[in-house]
Amino acid sequence: MEDVSTLVARQYEAFAYPQPFADLKAEISKGYYQVGDPSLYGPVLWPRGRPEGQLRILVAGCGTVQAAYAAYMNPGDEVVGIDLSEASLAHERFLQDKHHLKNLTLFKGDLLDVGSIGQRFDVILCTGVLHHMADPAAGLAALRDVLAPDGVMVLMLYGATVRTGVYMLQDAFRRMGIAQSSEGVVQVRQILKELPSRHYVQDYIRAADELKEDAAVVDTFLHPEDRAYIVPQVMELVEVAGLEFQNWVDNFPYWRNGGWGPDSAIAAAVDPLSPTDHWAAVEMLGLAAGMHMFTVRHPGHVAQVDFERDDWRNFVPHWAPGLARKGRGLFQRGPYELKCSELEQFVIDGADGTRAIGEIVGVPALEEVPDEFGRRYFEHLWKLGHLMIELP
């Protein structure tokens, strides 16, 4: 029997994923960005501030675009990409040549052999890879061994709740013997059209625009190795690897603020819980975590935001990537809307990444507003994922 790495490599040779595009500059100008990009998510990766100097960035399982994107967006840093698929790497090289990315080096190989590169990295980006390995814990351990002592790792794992229907269909399609082929993709599409409206996969299909691409159909429904995680399993994987969880890249799916107000029965039940139990409970109540994207570091090096700290006024808020004003009192970030009063809008506008919370709310116009408003409203926006927080 062929090992998992061979099967996965074969899939991505035939169906390069994600769907490649020809021009990074053009796509970025239209709003394309990658979640976890160090140039955009600095306060998430480094809550105490980005380290000075050139960074060494590893993109582990870079696919068709991710390493070139990282090199393009972080031109002052050195980027290394590694992937099993020659077809994926060929497109990375195309983008490298097109955009003159001299700070990019590409390797073909298994993530388990990443140590053979002979470098330690300040940032490791590994999104959508570990859950396709026969032993994700071994893969994470291999990455841990090349993470610099004060480095940070950005990981993405599939979320189990949203993908329940996907795994039902994966099981059915294996039993049917549907192959990873053009004919197989046609057959899958035909079957999807005939599923009952109550099938657990329907919400996933409605939300997954990428399924218009054949490679995404294969990657979703015909993958030879695919698992997903719930919050406690994420924490267990991190702990087994000898690493420490730092934070979620997007807080929205994990805090009850995204779906329930402070006077709700759910708030009364989950707010007293520890953060991990709170996240796990909200995941099961909200069913919004289709993927878990988070950062980890070596033990003793994490920095975590806590609005119960006495120095919360010195926290510096930044708008999260994708947050945009859509009208008077209305902001939007991806699928998430934020409606706010004039006072709240004034406060959000002040979060420009240069001023601390105390400066934003300390203006004369707000002198009659209770001090606790600043603490709790910025905490709320952070828990919604709309703001990133830089610590003093």
Per residue in 6-16, pLDDT (tens digit) is 766 676 666 76
Percent of the chain scoring above 90 in pLDDT? 78
pLDDT at 192 over 60: yes
Q: Mean per-residue pLDDT for 72-87?
A: 95
Which run of H or E residues covers position 187?
helix 182-193
**Which residue, among 117, 1, 121, 132, has the nearest Cα to 63 in the 3D structure?**
132
One domain, residues 83 and 13:
yes
User: Looking at the domain assignment, is residue 272 inside a domain?
Assistant: no
One domain, residues 9 and 153:
yes
| Single-letter code of the amino acid located at 143 | L
Per residue in 159-185, pLDDT (tens digit) is 999 999 999 999 999 999 999 999 999
For 387, phi then psi, to 5°, come to -125, 145
One domain, residues 193 and 92:
no
One domain, residues 91 and 239:
yes
One domain, residues 104 and 168:
no
CA distance 73 to 176: 44
- Count the domains in the chain: 3
The CATH number of residue 370's host domain is 3.90.930
Cα distances (angstroms) measured from residue 5 to each of 109, 110, 331: 10, 7, 43
pLDDT at 293 over 50: yes
CA distance 170 to 222: 6
The pLDDT value given to residue 13: 67
pLDDT at 327 over 50: yes
Q: Mean per-residue pLDDT for 33-41?
A: 94
The pLDDT value given to residue 370: 77
The pLDDT value given to residue 179: 92
Q: Read off the pLDDT band of 235 (50, 70, 90).
A: very high
pLDDT at 226 over 70: yes
One domain, residues 206 and 245:
no
CA distance 130 to 137: 8
**How far does Cα 214 stand from its chain's mean position?**
23
The pLDDT value given to residue 1: 47
Other Cβ atoms less than 10 A from the Cβ of 356: the count is 17
User: Looking at the domain assignment, is residue 282 inside a domain?
Assistant: no
Per the prediction, the chain carries an average pLDDT of 92
What 3-state class would DSSP assign to 372? helix
pLDDT at 2 over 70: no
How is residue 53 written in tokens? 């100097």
Domain that holds residue 206: 164-221
